[in-house]
Structure 1
Amino acid sequence: MSSAPFSAVAIMIGFAALLLGTLDAGVARARPSAIVLPVAATTQEAWQKETGLTAHPIGWENFCGKNPATCRERDDRHGIIALDAASWALILKTNIDVNAAITPMSDEEQWGVAESWDFPDSGYGDCEDYVLLKRRLLHRAGLPLAALMITVVRDLEGAGHAVLTVRTDRGDFILDNKRNRVLLWSETGYGYIKRQANLNPMRWVSLGPAAPGMAATAAR
């Protein structure tokens, strides 16, 4: 093996370790000072409505083939976060930090394939890769995995997109690489298609519309 390929691999691995270490440290330092909690939910519309089981995305299936331990990972805690200032600060900071740390790049540009879900260890990735990293960091920081659900949507342009749904006792909130603000799911304007089941990440469920009166787009 030549020294050039070896150096490239070493640099990539080193960057991945530095990225995760930096983000982990930043998340650990999240503090509740000056954090304003979302208003407590008053109706069931604060949570996404499930409409039945559905097929999982092919990208998730391929990701699990490459990362079986990650996909099998479960915890026995209740799949809803009792939101307080510290956990809300953690959620906000994780979304901002990952959005800043990763440079957007399509799978076609990076890997030469149409669809590939991966942890963005190279420092580049598309929407699913942002989601996978945010999910991993929040779980490492102590949030229950069952409350961190990969979600497939149609964005404001009607294109397929992936976000992370974080289930709390104040509603379902969306972490999105398109914006640093963390919004209640019904405030994004997205059409919600499907996501991981709340208590079983290997099962996927269909979802209702993004907001009252808005028709859901067809599941892909």
Structure 2
Amino acid sequence: MAWIEFCDQQPWECSIDLSEPDTIPLTDGTWASLQEVNRHVNGTIMAVPDQDHWGVVDRWDYPDDGLGDCEDIQLLKRKLLVEKGLPQRAIRMTVVIDELGAGHAVMRVRTDRGDLILDNKNDAVLPWQQTGYVYVKGEGVDGKAWVWFGDQVAPTATAAK
């Protein structure tokens, strides 16, 4: 419901321009932009649960006051990447199960070298397989609907042994 409310308030964030590419070339410039935005936002926004911040269980919004939960932080990253010229269609909100077994939002950037993850828990931009997360669902590239990933598990060091 929080995503729907966010989309109602900021419809441009949830509209899909099908003329945009759904993957982007991973150039040196793109890589630098991903790293810079991830580090910058992680370093300037304090992660705070919605209940403590807004007094509600779940709210998606930009962290304009310097506070936000994982969804808010990822939305700001997408906004900044789009301002740098990256196509919004290739930058998708994604829900995972984190290392603690809790729901968590990350930003998935679809590139010609595989999906990369921007995460407020890590300043490094990582290939999705290196996060250790279980991937549950994410924004689709062809419309407002979210798609299920079938709880795709990223390999971990212990699983690889």
TM over 0.5: yes
Query: Which residue is equivalent to 1:187?
Result: 130
Q: What letter is aligned with 1:67?
A: Q
Query: Which residue is equivalent to 2:94?
Result: 151
Offset from partner CA, 1:12-48 (integer Å, 9 cap, x none): xxxxxxxxxxxxxxxxxxxxxxxxxxxxxxxxxxxxx
**How does 1:105-184 map onto structure 2 within 5 Å?**
105-184=48-127
Larger-Rg structure: 1
Quote the offset at 1:69 in angstroms. Answer: 3.2
Unaligned segments of structure 2, at least 5 residues: 157-161
**What CA distance in whole angstroms lies between the structure 2 residues aligned with 1:78 and 1:84?**
15
**What CA distance in whole angstroms lies between the structure 1 residues aligned with 2:147 and 2:55?**
30
Contact 1:102 1:123 in 2 (8 A): yes
Query: Which residue is equivalent to 1:3?
Result: none
> Number of residue pairs matched?
155
Quote the offset at 1:106 in angstroms. Answer: 1.0
Q: What letter is aligned with 1:102?
A: I
**What CA distance in whole angstroms lies between the structure 2 residues aligned with 1:207 and 1:65?**
25
**What CA distance in whole angstroms lies between the structure 2 residues aligned with 1:172 and 1:193?**
15
- 2:35 maps to 1:92: yes
SS at match of 1:115: coil
Cα RMSD for the two superposed structures: 1.5
Unaligned segments of structure 1, at least 5 residues: 1-57, 214-220
Query: Which residue is equivalent to 1:23?
Result: none
SS at match of 1:96: helix
TM-score normalised according to structure 2 size = 0.91
Runs of 4+ in 1 over 3 A off after TM superposition: none
**What CA distance in whole angstroms lies between the structure 2 residues aligned with 1:89 and 1:112?**
36
Percent identity at matched positions?
46
**What CA distance in whole angstroms lies between the structure 2 residues aligned with 1:198 and 1:70?**
13
Q: What letter is aligned with 1:195?
A: G
Query: Which residue is equivalent to 1:207?
Result: 149
SS at match of 2:26: coil
TM-score normalised according to structure 1 size = 0.67
